[in-house]
Amino acid sequence: MKQRSTATDRIPEATSRLAACTDFVLSNPGRYALFLDVDGTLIELADTPEAVIVPDGLIALLQRLALGLDGAMAIVTGRLISDIDHLLSPLRLAAAGVHGAEMRLDPDLEIERVTAGLPDEIIQTMRKLALDIPGVIAEPKGGGLALHYRLAPDAEREILAALTAAIERHAGALELVPGKKIFEVVPSGLSKGTALAKLATLPAFRNRIPIMIGDDVGDEPAFAVAEGLKGFGLRVAGEHHPPDIADFPGPSAVMCWLDQLSHRLPAAGKLHSLS
């Protein structure tokens, strides 16, 4: 069974990384593309996925950025794209959901499922864990599930052992993605990194420097792809990235930085906030 690494001890000079990225975007307004995680990056985490609160001004800010970047901005999330649409309504953006298992290559296009759903055995194992362990919540994700255990932190080892055993029976076809009090199972070969690589080939994003902002284990493949394309992977502090290696202390700092960028874009003066 594959499990994505949670190691963070090799991330160098976080403040220097953010400074270099800021210098680039301020010197080259409109020549970059933004790829943004949501939970823990743009909005604060909550005990359950439904309990998150979208900060005042976030939707209008994202609209300004999307227009100012001529569409070169996408959401790259572990959530369903339809959930993101609900959170950010009426704004629709290019997006990758469920760690690349869903894609919407243009805001005006339909959501496409990239792969088949998880095997029934995995789904049933995850549902049983949610039923048997008080506080564990199963979040539907199209053809799959995620298990949240923020309300049952002592259950981590039990959940991990059960999912590991179930996945190992599928001969490397599945991968376990741990996160901030969450476990997800995805098909091997899909990640936020593969999603970013696909989005980066689209006309709106082509020939731009990618900037990925995220906060969790699942964002690491996207950081690697962005940096491999001579771009930047910016980390938000939290349970995965300690403050001393993170670029932002939390989502409010990300919003502040993005707001500063939005006012430096060439078309910024022509934009209007959502009503």
What is residue 115's predicted lDDT score, i.e. its pLDDT? 87
Return the C-alpha torsion angle 130, 192, 97, 52, nearest 10.
Answer: 60
**Mean pLDDT score across all residues of the chain:** 90
Residues classed as catalytic: 37
Which 3 state secondary structure label does DSSP give 87? helix
What is residue 167's predicted lDDT score, i.e. its pLDDT? 94
Whether 120-187 and 14-114+190-269 are alike in CATH topology: the answer is no
pLDDT, tens digit (0-9, with 9 covering 90-100), for 88-120: 999 999 999 999 999 999 999 999 999 888 999
The Cα–Cα gap between 250 and 214 comes to 10
What is residue 144's predicted lDDT score, i.e. its pLDDT? 81
pLDDT, tens digit (0-9, with 9 covering 90-100), for 195-252: 999 999 999 999 999 999 999 999 999 999 999 999 999 999 998 999 988 999 999 9
What is residue 270's predicted lDDT score, i.e. its pLDDT? 45
What is residue 266's predicted lDDT score, i.e. its pLDDT? 75
Domain ranges of the chain: 14-114+190-269, 120-187
- So what's the architecture of 120-187 in CATH? 2-Layer Sandwich (3.30)
pLDDT, tens digit (0-9, with 9 covering 90-100), for 254-267: 999 999 999 988 75
pLDDT > 70: what percent of the chain? 91
The Cα–Cα gap between 101 and 234 comes to 23
- Segment (H or E) for 96: strand 94-97
**For residue 162, how many other CB atoms are within 10 A of its CB?**
19
pTM above 0.85, yes or no: yes
What class is the 14-114+190-269 domain?
alpha beta
pLDDT, tens digit (0-9, with 9 covering 90-100), for 127-181: 999 999 999 999 988 878 899 999 999 999 999 999 999 999 998 899 999 999 9
Total residue count of the chain as it appears in this document:
275
Asked whether the predicted pLDDT for residue 8 surpasses 90, the reply is no
> Which residue in this structure is represented by tokens 């001579």?
230
Confidence band (pLDDT; 50, 70, 90) for 275?
very low
Rounded to 5, what percent of the chain is helix, strand, coil?
A: 35, 20, 40
Helices marked H in 145-275: 156-168, 192-199, 220-228, 251-262
Least confident of 57-61, 143-147, 237-241, 270-274: 270-274
Are 223 and 196 within 8 A, CB to CB? no
What is residue 3's predicted lDDT score, i.e. its pLDDT? 56
What is residue 2's predicted lDDT score, i.e. its pLDDT? 52
DSSP category for residue 183: E
What is residue 267's predicted lDDT score, i.e. its pLDDT? 58
189-222 burial, b if ≥16 CB within 10 A, otherwise e?
A: ebbbbbbbbbbbeeebbeebbbbbbbbbbbbbbb
Tell me the CB-side half-sphere exposure of residue 193, using CA atoms within 13 A.
Answer: 18
What is residue 71's predicted lDDT score, i.e. its pLDDT? 95
Asked whether the predicted pLDDT for residue 85 surpasses 60, the reply is yes
